[in-house]
Every structure is written in structure tokens, then in C-alpha cells.
Amino acid sequence: MRSRSSPPTAKSHRCAIYTRKSSEEGLEQDFNSLDAQREACEAYIKSQKSAGWVALPTMFDDGGFSGGNMERPALRRLLADIEAGRIDTVVVYKVDRLTRSLSDFAKIVDAFDSKNVSFVSVTQQFNTTTSMGRLTLNMLLSFAQFEREVTGERIRDKIAASKAKGMWMGGMTPLGYDAKDRKLVINSEEAETVRHIFRRYLALKSVRALKEDLDASGIVSKMRICANGTRRGGLQMARGALYLMLQNHIYRGQIVHKGTVHPGLHEAIIEEDLWNEVQDALAKNRIERATQSRATAPSLLAGFVYDSNGERMVPTHANKEGVRYRYYISQSLIKRGRPRTTDTGARVPAADLETLAEKRIQSLLKDQTALVDAAGSSTVAARKALIEHAADLEQRWPTLPFAQKRVVIHALVARIDVMPDSMEVGIRFAMLQQVTAPDLDLSRPLEPSASPVTVLSIPARVRRTGMETRLLIEGAEERRDPDRSLVRLLGQARTFHDMVARNTDMSLSELAEAAGVTRSYFTRVFRLSFLAPRIVTAILEGSQPVELTANKLKQTGMLDLLWSDQLNQLDFL
């Protein structure tokens, strides 16, 4: 006989009553345990009538459900109504009616807190609307955390002990094995496929080539049948899966736990000699990838450069008239491996970016203050040695092979961000001692430490100079190669000047026709033969203002004959 309260008014404090009984025994009675719990909760809510508490008519009764988990229909409906904002307080007879798991209790209370829903236990005087109730809640959550940690430690200890004995602890069954009675048993047909994959990698020395070879041969991943009968697998193998497979110690009859290799209880598929040869080949390829020693046009900063949106910038290149132009370009500008046009992302010349980064590293190696800070609490002799070794590396830097420069950058540089007005270089100062060590083998990658990163900013901006895009340091006189378009324009101006001087009887229109250009073009270029010597010298040396391009010079109106006025007109002053 369950009483139902009338729907609450708009100003009422809406209370949901949750009841639960573990077994179905007695639920058929007219007045059962669920009714008793609800009656006690309704009585408590009535005692809070002055505070506006009203019991909601919706019943949240879980009869015959254990409190050891959250898989209960009424509990799910309760949490859904809380998420929808239809409940202010949840009232239960005892805390264990809501859950018997402290970890589940923590999850439920998190759901309550996210919607500012309070929680009341009638018989235990547990009410999170009061400070004492919240204190009790925090104590329970502390025990919940303790329970989770102890349980986790127990599970981890069991896994460690089992793996130390060589036991396979489950998971996806590797290709070449079947799982029987929780043990790995060799599948003869698949095992031969595994051996073939290892042998082919040893012959091809490339996972990319291996994948193409396996795809052409029709070799696919292991077919697995799930507990519900669905089939998974039987697909072409991904390169990542092949990398993992070639390094999987299970195929050597071993079990690995946290880096420690233990003899396994299962049989090996791959013989030791073949395994060792494959691991050596993988290690060699890792070194070559890190140093880019096999790249035809290696990019020194590959993997380190990001644009102002935090998007990685990847190396790319374009060929024009037999000349290769390298760039770092935002991944959003790449579509199917080829550059595409868009208004977002960044594109900077690789040579300019790499030159700025190298100069910053060289200046860092000469910065005695930074070197002393990196030395920390070392002795005076150690600091002096660090400064000397850094100076030696700075002197050798221009002649270092690409691979060795890459090793130093990989250790020192965390990332490089190309911003609209600057280039920000993240440096691991703590690595200075290691990269400057006199006995350091720069032919092998140096693993960077998890040390703090200091960001150094270089004011720089991407600008157009003639037909090229350049990354230039703001406020600095950077020596540049002469702009070929400007130099050609000066040469053409001198040619037109000589034509006028030699053919005084011909009009400008006739001279333009003889030169194969329009009269307007001939006139504009001819005027450039009267440029101030300082302007001509600057163009030939590549030290003209960045904004001065061939198009701008041709489109300039009537040039002043006074050289001082020309300098002002073309921003040389």
C-alpha cells in the first residue's frame, strides 16, 4: 500500500526516494521491504515540510538487484532524472540501499554533485545538506579511494607474480597462437605465417615494404570469433601492428612485464637467431629514422615545428625549373600527401627556419650565464669545463654532419612554434651538459630527459621578397641572397638605356617593339636605369628593404631624379 504524494509546486524541494532489496523473496507481499523503506523515507520528508521538502510521485524501486554494482534499472532512471534536473535531493533508508561498493558510491556522489543534488540517509543521520554530512561523505570517499588503491595493488601484484612465472595473462590472442584453458597453444598454420613475416622483413628491411608485400600475398590479420558470435579480424595488417608484432617477445616464448623479460610457459615460434637479426634491423632503422641519414633532402627540424594553432608542420618541397624549394607546412594544408590551397595554416621556407634555429642554438652554446645555470650546483671546475666544451661544440657546429646536428637538436629542442610575429623555441637547458660532453657519441640518438622547457622567443615574420617567401628576423639586418628578379630588372633597365643611347633616331614605341615589349613597360623599366648607386648596390648585395620587390619597383610612379628623393621614395631612409 504505497502512498503517493501530490506533484510539487514550483518552489518545492523535490525529493526522490530510492529503495532496493537484494533478493526477490517477499516482494509478492502486499507490504514488503521496499514499502517499508519508502514509508520511512516519506515520514522523514514530511518532517522537513517547513523547508519545502516534497516527495516526488515517481518510484525508484529496485527489487531483486544486488548493491554490488550499478546495473540496476531504477538506479539508472534515478541518475537520468538527476541529469535532467528533475531532482533536488535523493533520500534512502540506509546508505547500503544505494550501493554496497564504496567506489560506486563515489561515482554516484560525483553525479549528484555535478547537478547540486544532496543525499540523505534516514536511519544514519547522513545528510549532505549539512556540514557534518559533508564531512561524513568525505570520510567515506577517502575509504573509497583506499579501497580502489588496495584492490589495484592486489591485482597488479597478482599480474606481476603470474607473469614472473611465465603465465600469459589474457588479452588479444596473437597471430600464431590459440587460447586454450587460458594458455597459449601454437596454431601450426598461423605459426608458419608468422615465420614468413619475420623472414620477409629481414629480406626487405622496411615495414612499409613488408606491408605492401603481405598485402600483395593476401596475408591478413588473425580472425577472431567473439563471445557473442561476431567475427573480427581477417583484414590487411597495418604498419603499426607489424611493428608491434616484430617486437613481440611472445613469439620467442617469453613474457614481458614492465620491461623485464621472463621465460614463458608457452612454446616459441621464432628461433633465437632469426629474432636477433630482426631486432638488429629494427634498431638500425630506428637510428636512421631519427637521424634521417637516408633522406635525399633531409629536414633538420622535422617533427619539432608547430604553427600558431598548435598544429604540426611537416616538411614538403616543390620543384621549379630544376630547383628544389623546401618548406615546413601545416598538416591542414596537406591533402593526400600533396599541398592544397587554403586560408588557414602556415607555410615557411625550411632553409630560413633551420638557419634561425641553428643560430639560436649556437648563441646558446656561447651564453655563459645559461651554461652556468644548466650546471646547477656543480663545482667551479665542472662549470668551467661545461663552458669550454660548449664553446668547442659551437665552433664545430658549422662543419658538423647533418645527422650529428639532428642528434643535438633532438636532445635540446622540445618544440618550435611559428607564430605570426615570432618563432618560439622550447629549450631543455638541463640537456646542455649531456650534449656538450666531450666523450658524447653524436652518431647515435640521445634520449632527452623529462626536464623543464624554457621558451626562447625570436622576433621573426614571414614576408614576400620578390618571387620568394622568406622568414626574416624583425629589426635585424639579415644578409640575404640577391633577389634574382630585381637583378634581372636592373639588367633589363641597362639594356633599354643602351638601346636609347645607340638609336637616337628611333621613338620609344619603335624601341619597345624592337625589344618585344609594350611602350608602357619599356618606359617604366627604362627609368630604372637612373636609380641611385646606393639603391643599385643594395639590390646587387641583397640588402634592399624587404618590401622592395621587382613588381613594386616596376609599378612605382615617376621616379625623382634626385637620388636622395629616390632613397626616401623607396624606403631606403
416-471 pLDDT, tens per residue?
998 888 888 888 887 887 877 777 776 666 777 667 788 888 887 766 554 455 55
Please name the residue that has the C-alpha cell 660548449: 390
Please indicate, yes or no, whether residues 220 and 117 belong to a single structural domain of this protein: no
> Rounded to whole angstroms, how far apart are CA atoms 94 and 485?
86
167 located within any domain: no
Strands 422-427 and 454-465: antiparallel
DSSP calls for 390-419: HHHHHHHGGGS-HHHHHHHHHHHEEEEEE-
Sign of the C-alpha dihedral computed for residues 110, 112, 116 and 120 taken in this order: negative
pLDDT at 289: 55
161 located within any domain: no
Query: What is the distance between the terminal CA atoms of the chain, rounded to a whole angstrom?
Result: 98
169 located within any domain: no
From 460, 288, 431, select the one nearest 364 (Cα to Cα).
431
Indicate if the pLDDT at residue 557 is higher than 70.
Answer: no
> Rounded to whole angstroms, how far apart are CA atoms 565 and 535?
12
From 334, 357, 346, select the one nearest 306 (Cα to Cα).
346
185-202 pLDDT, tens per residue?
999 999 999 999 999 998
Q: What is the mean pLDDT of residues 298-320?
A: 83
Q: What is the mean pLDDT of residues 297-316?
A: 83
Q: What is the DSSP letter of 220?
A: B
70-121 pLDDT, tens per residue?
889 999 999 999 999 999 999 998 877 887 776 787 788 888 888 989 888 8
30 located within any domain: yes
What's 152-195 look like in SS3? HHHHHHHHHHHHHCCCCCCCCCCCCEEEECCEEEECHHHHHHHH
Indicate if the pLDDT at residue 571 is higher than 80.
Answer: no
- Reported as a pLDDT band with limits 50, 70 and 90, residue 473 is low
Report the chain's C-alpha Rg in angstroms: 38
Domain that holds residue 89: 13-145
CATH classification at residue 219: 3.90.1750.20
Please indicate, yes or no, whether residues 449 and 560 belong to a single structural domain of this protein: no
171 located within any domain: no
> Rounded to whole angstroms, how far apart are CA atoms 271 and 269?
7
> Rounded to whole angstroms, how far apart are CA atoms 541 and 538?
5
432-452 core/surface letters (b: 16 or more CB in 10 A; e: else): bbbbbeeebebeebbebeeee
**Number of other residues whose CB lies within 10 A of the CB of residue 33:** 20
CA contacts within 13 A on the Cβ side of 476: 12
Please indicate, yes or no, whether residues 88 and 189 belong to a single structural domain of this protein: no
Please indicate, yes or no, whether residues 456 and 328 belong to a single structural domain of this protein: yes
Please indicate, yes or no, whether residues 343 and 465 belong to a single structural domain of this protein: yes
Please indicate, yes or no, whether residues 469 and 488 belong to a single structural domain of this protein: no
Please indicate, yes or no, whether residues 85 and 234 belong to a single structural domain of this protein: no
Highest mean pLDDT among 30-44, 145-159, 424-438, 558-572: 30-44
Q: Which residue has the higher pLDDT, 12 or 319?
A: 12
Please indicate, yes or no, whether residues 314 and 247 belong to a single structural domain of this protein: no
Which of 12-26, 109-123, 382-396, 537-551 is predicted with the least confidence, judged by mean pLDDT? 537-551
Three-class secondary structure of residue 92 per DSSP: strand
> Rounded to whole angstroms, how far apart are CA atoms 164 and 41?
53
Please indicate, yes or no, whether residues 364 and 464 belong to a single structural domain of this protein: yes
Q: What is the mean pLDDT of residues 226-250?
A: 84
Highest mean pLDDT among 84-88, 212-216, 317-321, 371-375: 84-88
322-337 pLDDT, tens per residue?
667 788 888 877 653 4
CATH classification at residue 57: 3.40.50.1390
Please indicate, yes or no, whether residues 461 and 536 belong to a single structural domain of this protein: no
Domain count for the chain, please give it: 4
